[in-house]
Structure 1
């Protein structure tokens, strides 16, 4: 405790003289200078003339507590605080500095700042020398600032808009809870800790972040800057940003600050409106207007690239019968099913549109040849013809397809559509479930079709069929690892007939069963002959037609062929398209498992063009997936085809399957497949289909 003994009173005379001197020196000093005793009332023994301006009392009123003691001027709520603060400083021999309130003579309350030091006599403090200044205005300013900050903080914390401060390259400096919630984080701190690289972690398109930074640097701000961004869970939303650049004294960028709103619902609504204007309401396919626009784009691209663009006009063969007999709901269901099947067969760059009624139009983009277009159309025919059920009845619906090609059959959209429509009627005349090109050279009229069917029935007896063999090569080693047997027909009076013309006819007529059995036996016999001539055992691949796979006697036919020829089952590989498997999944699974038990290899051909699910794929007893040539042909130019090819390779390896790519024709395709881990390849780059003598020379 501070000493307040009688020694203090004995010294008051000297202290009074000092106070008088200080009063003269500090008469014009802003504030109050004082000396007081350390007692219960802070008895003043000197106060400068600033006393009246500060307290409303004369200095004499306080001296010896004549009118009022200074303790009484201090606000009652602050007296203990003041005394404790002074005593604490004296006990540690420090100056004291305290802010507190006083009640002036007029009753108003003011804030003051007092700073002082203890005065010693010997070892004891006897008095205080100090200075008191009115800080009411400063306190008011601080309060106003605190209130403004509180209000801003309330706005910041409770705003429904996202608010942020960020740097060009170090993430966020501050974010409010609304922005954290918008981006899927529980707290702003969690968001700022995890989001450090906005270009990679936040923006779906990193170039959009680069555009934002460029605008902030050149224009010092953005308004309604729209971008797609990732939320924490990987989902994507649309945002709109308003922001400004905050610069330092040297015009350097200190940070950005702004607001963010979620505009995903608005974007979805806008997209829905655009979609309704350009798409068919029933099937969701592009309508006539959008199809016309896509066709014009395909023509322009084909003109620049020197490739082919094609229009395929599709009409359902039995739609009117189904619509009339089963009702419009069944008809609508059929249209949706057909739309889905057509879409599943197409590349991302192609367009499937509904023309109206039961008519569909395909815009085939950037095809290298008419053969490629033919392959696509054949897949479409198979896909549409797959069975479907309505009202408990299994139905089969086929279609007729007419094709026109740019630039051969027209130089503008209207001409190509008109000619494709005409070709479609030609396809119907050919017997439906068929396709026809508009060009006279490639169109098959009804008379020619009947004549071909007649010649086809006698082709086996006349030994007009032969097999060609296309090499399969291991990509890693470059070694020959197998061959695919491909059917060829050389008619005595008409010469070579392309498989695309006679195989669909054989399938439709049922002749494919007998022809397919001949192919199987001939391929097995040839494989044995090569081995007896000294060639190493190589798997020979044979394609199974839809009719063969679904027959109950397929297993017997295969076993008999192996017995009769003596071929090791391990040297036979059967290729089945996924579309064929999905026609009757359970029956296909049963048949394939029984074939697999014989030791035969099984491959899914044209993988990626059908509509099998992963659930079924993992159940299939297959050894290989063959990537369809429609994807391989564009893997070096079409990002979508490249991505699909990579995905198929990855999927196959996950399922412990090998991958074969067909239709490899260039070094660039070869290099792409090698770099992405494809196992085997076949195509003109490695060898065209060849007669058995030429293949034997290749083996040698």
Structure 2
């Protein structure tokens, strides 16, 4: 009995606190109330006792006269159909005010399924109704301005769909009517903006500042033409701060932008050849140097001067000279990559900015190609001319740390090239010769290092994301000369690959990695996998399979503890042979992985034929994941691709907790990188296993 009283007390308290009236009424002419909650007073101005059994007033009398008929019809129909009803109508408050209410309820039946009453809940929605009416009034007031404005006016969802726009916007975008634009554009980011990233920039500014001002972008018109627009926009939020939509204005500024671009182009480009001119050379070179700093590359500044051009220009006339310069400019432009630049300083002087250089051969081969291209016969006004050039080269950062110094040094080197007989190139310093000398020294020292066993194996742990535990390691070679510092493989592996010494190194790594796998497995009391990199040259060698088979036999290692990592670039040369070798290796019982996946060009088409067990995502897609959201789509695609073929997916180069968590969320299986551990000497790695 006490429990029932508590429940009744709780229900009474609950109903008293509701902002509205709970009721039960008969379906008679007066909506006679048989139960009314305390919320009646706030809603109607009458106490519950006033409405109960129509003592003072009936609810029918409170209902606004113009609404009584349709309200009764709607509720009667719902009740007879045994359906819940919901409606909005007006009532008259005791003070004479007209108020809007929202009512929801349902019919009540007795045990004989006879309709006996209604019960429900009525709320005051006058404030909301007034707000809606104010909005409608405001819309009527401003609709005329909206329709007749010269500027385009719009409202869009944050996702990029138009909610509303005026005729001016349709005209700016080249559409004949509002409906035409509405039917044509369903995704502003990809259907309207020439650069979809501009829409993302626009949204980011709105999220940060709540508005954008003078936001310029290029957009497509209906016929495919591209125009420039400027936008001013703001966020529109409700009373609770929730974002509703963006609204703003658009103006066509194509004429102004085209004029600005024309003026800028004339100021920064040579009128004869169309090449960039001296005006932007320093700025362009500064950009190249900044890029080189970020990516640990070199920049070559090549100062090029045509040999004996003045003689041709003076004797044959300036129109012949201009024709020659135009031809040479075209040839130079074809000799460089998109990331490089060709600048005409004036007269017969040109500067080439060559970026992304890493090896000595990069500069040498490009200079030889340029010398050859310039020396080809030129036909101008049906006359044949053969000209050569002299080139001086300075290299950033070794030959200077600023643009002026690099240009001065390249110019001096060009004069040295002319003094050397012309039609040649000259370096400002002996840096490249020193690099060649160093390469020869490494090649020589490598031979003795192999004989003297000056190499070590380091081991980098691999972590299983599902368990968070160590699940294997990658064996990485290091060179420890006697009485010298440790040498990174980045310094000697390329030389070993080019000279063929990589095969001897590979056999050494394979044998010692297998012996380490035995040691690790014995310590743990269970198999432990060790991965070994196989270089492209090793993989193409005809005896790779027999070599691996012999090492497994000699070391008595469990084949399942050996994993071979093959770089994706091996595919470029001979895919059928590549696949056959993979199958032969797989038959030995070992594990296979495709290393640096995602950086090659052929594996996607043949992956279904590869008997591999793992894909190792190249660290280029993992590093800086926080600041490069574009890599997320690539990572998801690689992980999904790998899993679709039943492969484990390993991410390399994981350096931060953010990267680890993000990859975990994507479903990546294993991780490897400095976030967990750098490569460790054997003794240090054994300590980890013992723990």
**TM-score relative to the length of structure 1:** 0.49
| TM-score in terms of structure 2 length | 0.50
